[in-house]
Chain A
Amino acid sequence: MKKYGFVMFSLLAVGLLGVACGGAPEETPRAAPASAPVGTAVITGVVNYTNGDPDTAIDMNADPVCLTLHEDEAQTQKVVGDPGKLGNAFVYIKSGLSGSYPVSDEPAILNQEGCMYSPHVSGVQVGQRLLIRNSDPTLHNVHALPTVNAEFNKGQPFQNMEFDHTFDKPEVMIRFKCDVHPWMSSYMGVLDHPFFAVSAADGSYSIDKVPAGTYTVEAWHETLGTKTMEVTVGDNAVAAANFDFAPASG
């Protein structure tokens, strides 16, 4: 019996090893690939907008302090840009990337200036430091309304107050509002890579250091919605991706 027991044990041990090794999904490693190299390609283009309605003015009567901060009437910053062009559009690589990318050491800055958020549209990386500042001599509260990340709502009663925040999940876009000044809003795209840009007043944007590949690039605008495009770009090449927005019908 002893002998058979030993044979059984050996057999089973071998068998179990087989199960253990064969069953282990070594061929499908779960670890994320190591940091992907930053590329050399550039995606650039212009965001066009036909038939644009002009930006509208803000009534800041509710807070006299805000009124004193502006010589002219402040504009909402919603639809901005030169004629036929669209600024404040957030353009980013929506899909097609793999791997992880280093997080910028530079903090992103969200300022409250003249009872307005500045910038009105911006982007930040997951884990990147976001510095939020109040440059106004009045109370603001920074109320972020994410759906994936955690909500926060911090009061900044004093001029030049600052605080840091980092988002830990990608989310496009997160709206910021100020409950004291209902006209104030800002939108921020949180991405797990550095390939995004905000279009300038002439509608132009440029996303640098992109690895060669084929990507879905999306342009997001606060009131006009989103447009996507497939873009293929090789090393050291420049790919153009222009987006055309039109006023929402109806």
Chain B
Amino acid sequence: MVAPKKTPDRHYDFTRMNKWFAWSSLALLLITIWMVVEDYAKPWKRLQAEFRDLERQKLAEEAETERQRLNQEEIDRIQAEIEAEDTRLEEQSAELDELRDRLADLEDKVYEADVDARTTKSHLDTERYQYDAALQTGDPDKIRRAELALQERRATYLANRMSLEAYIEERRMVKAEIDRKLEGLEADRKRLAEMRGGLESLETRVAGLSKSVDYFLLNAPLMDMLGPQLKIDQVQLPGLYQNINFTSVDRVDRCVTCHVAAARAGFDGEGWQEPFRSHPRLDLFLSSSSPHPYTRFGCTTCHGGLDRATNFARAGHSPEGEEEKAEWKHEWGWEKQKYLDTPILPAKYSEAGCIGCHAGNVWTPGSRIQDTGRELVSRMGCYACHKIDYPAFSDLPRPGPSLNKVASKTNAGWAYKWIEAPRDFHPTTFMPHFFFQENIQGELNEERQRAEIRATVAYIWDRSEKIDYPVPPAGSAARGELLFNSVGCTGCHLLDGEATRDQFFPQINRMHGPNLIRTGSKVDPGWLFAWLKDPKSFNPETRMPSLRLTDQEAADLVAYLMASRDPAFEGLSLPEVDGEVRDELVLAYLQSTRTIEQSQAELAEMDDLQRDVYLGKETIRKYGCFGCHNLDGFDDAKPIGVELTEEGSKPIHQFDFGHIHDVPHTRHDWIKTKMLRPRIWDLGKERVKDYNELYKMPDFGMSEREAEAVVTNVLGFTKESVVTARRADQMPEAAALAEGRKLITRYNCQGCHLVEGAGQAIKTAIEDPGMWPPNLAAEGARVQGDWLFGYLHDPSSESMRPWLSVRMPSFGFEDGQVNALLAYFAASENRQPFLSAPVRADRRSLAVGKGVFAMLQCAKCHPAGPIDTGAVSAAELAPSLLLARDRLRHDWVADWIKDPLSWVTGTKMPVFFTREDDGEYSSPLAQGIDLPMWSAEKDRMLRYFDSEAELKEYLANADNVTTAMRDHIWWGLEGGS
């Protein structure tokens, strides 16, 4: 019998199980380690650690420099000063002690005298009562006695009071004397402490960044949940939404986890590379003192990208060009984020990010590219075909001229040649090329286009009113040229055959109106004369203002402008086209709403002109001409382009790249390509599409930077939402600013004036800076609302600088528009537009004002009477001060005199009052008053002062002096009452 096999009490094998356990626990351990390593070794931690080292090194260097600087000169010097000061005090200690004793003594005396004065005052009151009582009795004896007693008491009281005042004054002087003796020492001690403080704080910071045991412990794996130095740095941005899967959630930006120094100053020199650089515009962004502090606005609000990402690829970085892409792939593992709708905007398009919050503001100070893009979108009239639901593009007039009276102005032959290729005539025009584009090639297509152009002109001329203008008076082209270049035409118009739009990109305001080259080949001189005299009578909606030209001036300008000609555009008539081709096009349109038979019948009934006019109307509808031009018969027509309000959020797969394979699949590359070659996506599809199905977007002849500026703008049209309260256009002054900016843009104020630091484009056409139209900085703080109201309505009423040849035009504003401008100027200076009347100044102030006015020789530049331009070149003069009272704000004049450069950069008005380190202004007048040449002024002023010292004290105070000058200008000048 075989012994029963010893069966284990379990159905498994221990050894095997132990092996399994051993292996799997080892595997688990490895996986755990792997997990910890994976979790620990994040790239951002490496970056932060690297930055800490760099920062520590930088601070150590700064501390070293500081130490050297301090050791070498300052500390020793101040130490020596303190010692010298101490010795001096030591020597003078007896004197100082004496002074202190005197002070103590005086304190007692003041107290005693005060008590005495109060006592005698009450005695005096008693006597007054007694006297009053005596008067009631009517007894002359009593009255006399009471009166004597009262006089005696009054004398005692006055004597007591005077001695009190004398003690108080003496006490003040002793105190001042002690302060003066100690002042130097105290200041030195304070400065030494401050200087050392700077060094000490640097040293503390260096120590904080060095790698101590704490650092390793706190950042060690598994320990780093306590309070690590290396950590994800995030900021929550309530109200600034990110669209995630159709829901809007608050942004949580983590960008500074890697871009450690972005919000900190001082990391922008050579040697600082991304991600460790300071933001280049800390004055505007991220720093706590900027308008967009990091803690409130984060980074992705403007730049785009995935807010929560802490990984290079997932954040949505956008490489610029293939080279960068390859580098990033290699170095950072970059890959395209297919599912991220808002990748980070490439640096050159960053300003697109402004629009989200600033959309209501028409223009956004500090975003030049985006702003020029906005200007281009409105000049090129993109909004006229594509709905763009933003305040900057709503309620705008049509960008092109009305064509309802065009036959009065030019001829059909010119119009044909113009439409064919507008830039051949005006190289800088914003009117685009609709015809003969790359997607419409071939003989037949060319003939079709000729028929379309001819028909368009035929339609316009058929509907246009034709006014016959008389021949204008004879003028001189030479005088006209002078006038053209000086009166202000050049603020809005070029007259330059060589100019390109790109060249004027930075001065886009000079292309507000058309380039006037070849005017003589385009318009009727009679029309031009009437137009210059009164633009609004020809077209009530025109933005062209009246320059109040006399007949002779207008005639001279006509002579000058008509002299610019090009024979190639003269004597033209409408060309003949192939009738069959034209009819075929007409038939195609007819057939879209009728049966073939009906269409043919209808065509047969039309004569030649009718066929042209019919095709013209359809062509205008097809290309959307009515979007930009007022055209009879199209009053209610709807814009033909796709809406662009959310173009910046349109998913990339919805863009049609056609058969073009070398354009990168990004939103900005598609839009830019479209701007530069609007018909490119048709290439290879010409045979599939019908003639009328081909793309119609015209070619604006954009340069690279124009295209990029427009792209910057369009990329900003997103559906990313921002809670209303956080939008810049919801800030208290925003509505007034937005309305004003809209008018300023519409009427091109910046063509001539500097507004908010931008504009004055005309200065490229006027050589002499003294002849430039004024800078409107601080206008709201400077002028009275009443005055500005009158001036904007009728600028001819007065002239601050009568010697300027440039003329403020009459825009024919409505009251509402003028009030909007007033509110705008006031809002930009945080003021109310209207003021109450100032109180009249006292005589002393007037006398000082007059004296100071003479001493500072204000009249050397400010004519305070009829202008004598014989002596000084007119351009060197400053505004006449006789207008000050009506024009300037009373509360502004003294502030302006005190520090002109802080109001208007580049002003010729000199600074007389120096701003000291403590923020107070010092006045130079006390030192000038003793000069023999001003002795007469001194004597006159002294009449209003008890002593020379008092006068000097008064003059040393900048507030006194500037107020006095204001009073003199207000009430003391010739004509002041």
Residues on A lying within 8 angstroms of B by beta carbon are: 1, 4-5, 8-9, 12-13, 16-17, 19-20, 23-26, 28-31, 61-63, 137-139, 141-143, 151-159, 161, 163, 179-180, 182
Contact = CB atoms under 8 A, between A and B. Distances in A.
Interface stretch (B54-62, B456-464, B716-724, B950-958): B54-62
Contacts of B871: 61-63
Given A20-B53, A157-B855, A158-B928, A151 B905 contact: yes
Considering residues B40, B53, B271, B855, which has the most beta carbons from chain A within 10 angstroms of its beta carbon? Answer: B53
Given A30-B61, A141-B910, A5 B221 contact: yes
B856 A157 contact: yes
Interface string B28-60: 010011001100110000100110111001100
A9 B221 contact: yes
A142 B927 CA distance: 19
A31 B857 contact: no
Considering residues A24, A142, A163, which has the most beta carbons from chain B within 10 angstroms of its beta carbon? Answer: A24
Contacts of B269: 30
B929 to A, nearest CB: 9
B956 to A, nearest CB: 14
B104 interface: no
Nearest to B905: A151
A154 B33 contact: no
A1 B64 CA distance: 45
Interface in B185-230: 211, 216, 219-223
Contacts of A29: 61
Given A30-B61, A157-B928, A179 B910 contact: yes
B908 A143 contact: yes
A180 B270 CA distance: 43
Interface residues of B, number: 53
Interface string B63-106: 01100000000000000000000000000000000000000000
B912 A180 contact: no
B901 interface: yes
A30 B855 CA distance: 53
Nearest to B65: A31
Interface in B425-457: none
A161 B924 contact: yes
Contacts of B32: 1
A4 B927 contact: no
Contact of B271 (A25, A61, A62, A182): A25
Interface in B871-922: 871-873, 876, 900-901, 905-912, 914
A152 B873 CA distance: 23
Contact of B907 (A4, A139, A153, A156): A153
Contact of A24 (B53, B861, B927): B53
15 contacts: A5-B221, A8-B36, A9-B216, A9-B221, A30-B58, A31-B64, A61-B871, A139-B860, A141-B910, A143-B908, A153-B911, A161-B928, A163-B914, A179-B908, A182-B872
Given A30-B58, A154-B910, A155-B910, 6 more contacts: A9-B216, A152-B911, A155-B856, A158-B927, A179-B910, A180-B857
Nearest to B230: A16
A138 B910 contact: no
B931 interface: yes
A140 to B, nearest CB: 9
A1 B222 CA distance: 11
Contacts of A16: 49, 216, 219
Closest 4 CB pairs of A and B: A155-B910, A141-B910, A139-B857, A158-B928
A19 B46 contact: yes
B230 to A, nearest CB: 9
Contacts of A20: 49-50, 52-53, 211
Contacts of B270: 30
A139 B933 CA distance: 13
Nearest to A177: B908
Contact of A23 (B53, B221, B223, B856): B53
Contacts of B53: 20, 23-24
A141 B269 CA distance: 36
B924 A152 contact: no
Contact of A13 (B220, B856, B924): B220
Interface of B: 29, 32-33, 36-37, 40-41, 46, 49-50, 52-54, 57-58, 61, 64-65, 211, 216, 219-223, 269-271, 855-857, 860-861, 871-873, 876, 900-901, 905-912, 914, 924, 927-928, 931, 933
Contacts of B216: 9, 13, 16
A13 B910 CA distance: 63
B37 A154 contact: no
Contact of B901 (A13, A153, A163): A153
B870 to A, nearest CB: 8
A157 B49 CA distance: 59
B49 A182 contact: no
A182 B914 contact: no
Contacts of B914: 154, 163
A62 B119 CA distance: 68
Nearest to A163: B914
A31 B61 CA distance: 7
B220 A12 contact: yes
Contact of B933 (A28, A62, A137): A137
Given A5-B222, A9-B220, A12-B40, A159 B931 contact: yes
Contacts of A28: 271
A180 B877 CA distance: 8
A179 to B, nearest CB: 4
B923 to A, nearest CB: 11
Contacts of A157: 855-857, 912, 924, 928
Given A8-B221, A139-B856, A153 B50 contact: no
Given A137-B933, A179-B876, A158 B860 contact: no
B931 A182 contact: no
A63 B860 contact: yes
B266 to A, nearest CB: 12
A63 to B, nearest CB: 7
Contacts of B52: 20
A23 B41 CA distance: 16
A151 B29 contact: no
B46 to A, nearest CB: 6
A16 B269 CA distance: 26
Contact of B876 (A5, A161, A182): A182
A14 B625 CA distance: 72
A167 B30 CA distance: 65
B860 to A, nearest CB: 5
Nearest to A157: B856
Contacts of B64: 31
A44 B873 CA distance: 42
A155 B907 CA distance: 12
A24 B912 CA distance: 51
Contacts of A138: 857
B50 A23 contact: yes
Contacts of B222: 5
Nearest to B29: A4
A1 B910 CA distance: 77
Contacts of B876: 62, 179-180, 182
B924 A158 contact: yes
Nearest to B875: A182
Contacts of A63: 860, 871
B901 A24 contact: no
Contacts of B912: 154-155, 157
Contacts of B928: 157-158, 161
A205 B284 CA distance: 47
Contacts of B933: 137
A20 B871 CA distance: 72
Contacts of A19: 46, 49-50
A26 B892 CA distance: 56
Contacts of A4: 29, 33
A166 to B, nearest CB: 14
A24 B270 CA distance: 15
